Amino acid sequence: MKVKEIYKGYIWYNGEFKSWQECNIHVFTNSLHYSSSAFEGIRSYNGRVFKLEEHIDRFLYSTSILGIECIYTHRQLCDATIELIEKNNLENSYIRPLIWRGDKELTIKFIDNDINVMIAAYDYKQSFDIQKTLNLLVTSWRKAPANSMPHQAKTAGNYVINITALSEIKGTAYDDVLFLDNEDYVAELSSSNIFFVQDGALITPIANCCLNGITRKTIIEIAARNNIQVVEKFITLEELRYYDEAFATGTASEVVSIKSISFDKEGVDKVTFSDNNVTVTIAELYSDLVGANRI
């Protein structure tokens, strides 16, 4: 999706609503050089923002991890988001808050850099598609230990390894990569959490070396309300051979079925998931929830 081709209306930029053409940064912007920025991905459905307060909570947590003092309060950011989608006349949208250090000092110590905040939102209607499936490759790269990377923060720096791993599947038939952690347990995809299904129960990695995503937590809540067992555990690659289904979750993608996971680039050693009955049920329950916005 080419944002410049679809973006219309305004961006909330440092407390003001400006046209997207006005929102620019200098090439010496500190965060462009040193990755000291944090962001969120949020969805609105039928004009209502889903789990806005939880997303802004995480946004402010991410800024604190970077030592950034956001000059806007939680309430101001929530109100600005709601006003933005109203001003842009959006019903179903993707919303991107971003905070970054400016161009006063080009140094990693960022002593006196100004802090900038923006919130953008554009039309986005993607939802569960029963025909869409993912073919994954287990990447040779590993997620950093929990004491080496703030995995629960959505910072630009956290995504460097994800982008690096995606270069392995460029020009191939794979749709995404599957990360293992530093102890070779299953972690997550490049921008999604992962669930497996075994005998009707959901099995998902413990979120110590991966993001404990808001969609991930929502799926666990949905399962609990519908008497679907959820097991959080350390998962080895060998265990994947015994699972019935697999699916990925994320704010933008919602729920997506996984068709196969290859352990080598040639796809000689891989597991294939032929069922997706539980996945479809979970996707439908999630779709009902975000449409009604009951959580």
Write down the pLDDT at residue 111.
Answer: 63
Q: Which residues of 69-97 are buried (b: 16+ CB within 10 A; e: fewer)?
A: ebebeeeebbebbbebbeebebebbbbbb
CB atoms within 10 A of CB 24: 8
Write down the pLDDT at residue 61.
Answer: 98
| Span 192-197, average pLDDT | 98
What would the DSSP string read from start to end of 195-217? EEEETTEEEEE-TTSS---HHHH
Annotated catalytic residue within 51, 87, 154, 270 = 154
| Span 8-13, average pLDDT | 94
Domain boundaries, the chain: 3-123, 133-292
| Model pTM above 0.85 | yes
60 has pLDDT over 90:
yes
233 is catalytic: no
Say if domain 133-292 classifies as CATH 3.40.50.720: no
pLDDT tens digits, one per residue of 258-269 = 999 999 999 999
CATH architecture of 3-123: 2-Layer Sandwich (3.30)
Residue with the two structure tokens 């179903």: 92
Q: Please tell me if the domain spanning 3-123 has the same topology as the one spanning 133-292.
A: no
Which residues make Cβ contacts (< 8 Å) with residue 143, sequence separation at least 6? Answer: 149, 151, 161, 179, 180, 181, 182, 187, 188, 209, 210
What is the pLDDT confidence band of residue 71, given thresholds at 50, 70 and 90? Answer: very high
Of 239, 228, 210, residue with least CA distance to 286: 228
| Percent of the chain surpassing pLDDT 70 | 97
